[in-house]
A = this chain, B = another copy of it.
Amino acid sequence: MPTAAPETGQSAPFLIISSDTHAGLRTEEYREFLERRYHPQLDLYLRWQESTAEVRQQTQNEEFVRDWYEDNDEGLRASWDAERRNRELDRDGVAGEVIFPDADAVSATTAAPFGAGIGMAGGAYDPELALAGARAHNRWLADLCRQSPARRRGVIVAPIVGNVAAAAAEIRRAHADGLRGGIMIPSLWGHGNRPYHDQEYDRVWAVCEELRLPVQTHAGAAPGADLGRHLGLYATEVAWWSARPMWFFIWTGVFERFPDLRFGVQECGLWWVADTLWQMDVAYEREHGTKKLASFGEHMRRRPSEYFDANCFVGGSTAKRRELSERYQIGVRNILWGNDFPHPEGTWPHTREWLRHMFADVPEDETRVMLGEAAVETFAFDREELAPVARRIGPLPADIGQDQPARRSAGEPAAAPSGRHWLDGPDVPKIATLRREKGRPGSPG
């Protein structure tokens, strides 16, 4: 898509895209978007939802939740009201958004029916019903996106575990209906179901490559049977479960079969990325620890970090300064910022203050990439259409502290400018482990 060059410099406002926002109706309001034959199941689902509200409450900080709703009653209506939504985005300085489901991440009152949402896990939903719920949400979301289409990319909810063919058909339908924010697949395929290296899923990846829809996971699901009610376990593991499909794609040849496919991990932090790339690359190079293993497969024609650069991205919603300090290892262009609007763990309605905290000591050009340019490319936003919005609402570099000398607390890690140090020299020594590697038959040591 031909689109104007990005504006730069201290007097150019940032063009900000949140690659992670949420929208959804109250569950019962999805009825009009749900095929009539599923209406009886919707009644049952609503009763079940009501009966489990108390259990969900036990996982919440009641006081915080009460205050959150009281403070943000108006703003939260933006979850389904397009006009209010634009006002809230404007307030946050956000010109464009990529919209995931489940606007209410507190009480789950805006969950699409039958488990079609950010908590999707194979085995935890009925495939036929989840697809019906996904269709209802996707239809409604397409309506929302038709209002201010330049600013919105709607994510197609795609419960692909179960009936792969039907899921692929729904992706095609929803795309034709106007959704352009990629697809969201279940983070977990679930015990006993096909893992994501199974080529049965190729028909989904093929549709996504053809239609230029990035495949995404979003933090939410975790294996409840393992974790029980221990919220600390959930807090520690949840990112891993949604990040996991990424290395399934990289190691098992999905990007060789679908070289134009893109895969993104949303709202899982950035802290695991550099180590994962390091760890995969070092293993791939058959360093000491993996010498004994057979081939990683003929399809592994490139280093894992090369597939990452070519095919993957990571969502940096409310990234921490520690995480941004690793941006040269992760790759600046691979990081897509998000405000997670309107979730309480996101930065809304204080995004401008958050940006100052996170980006004050990041160079302006890199900031532009992470805050917007990477998302423009990934989701084919039209920069020209968004430019007037950005000019009206986008913060200037000075507004987020980039006119000040960088401040960092003692000991806080600075960004290592060298990036992927392991590519410049092996991270393991060239110590022979076999006599023949030494080129002489004598005893080693």
> Footprint of B on A, CB under 8 Å?
58-62, 64-65, 67-68, 71, 91, 105-106, 191-192, 195, 197, 225-228, 230-233, 235-237, 240, 244, 247-248, 250-252, 269, 271-272, 275-276, 278-280, 282-284, 286, 288-297, 300, 304, 318, 320-322, 344-345, 349-350, 352-354, 357, 409-413, 416-419, 421-422, 424-425, 427-429, 431-436, 444-445
Contacts and interface: CB of A to CB of B under 8 A. Distances in A.
B294 A67 contact: no
A292 B252 CA distance: 37
A65 B425 contact: no
B71 A435 contact: yes
A388 to B, nearest CB: 22
A232 B280 contact: yes
A384 B367 CA distance: 58
Assembly stoichiometry (copies)? 2
A354 B275 CA distance: 22
Contact of A252 (B230, B304, B428): B230
Given A232-B280, A349-B444, A350-B431, 9 more contacts: A61-B292, A64-B434, A91-B445, A106-B292, A195-B226, A197-B228, A350-B444, A352-B445, A412-B421
A405 B350 CA distance: 49
Contact of A357 (B228, B419, B429): B429
Nearest to A321: B427
Contact of A296 (B231, B279, B283): B231
B289 A345 contact: yes
Contacts of A345: 288-292
A65 B279 CA distance: 23
Contacts of A280: 232, 235-236
A217 B282 CA distance: 23
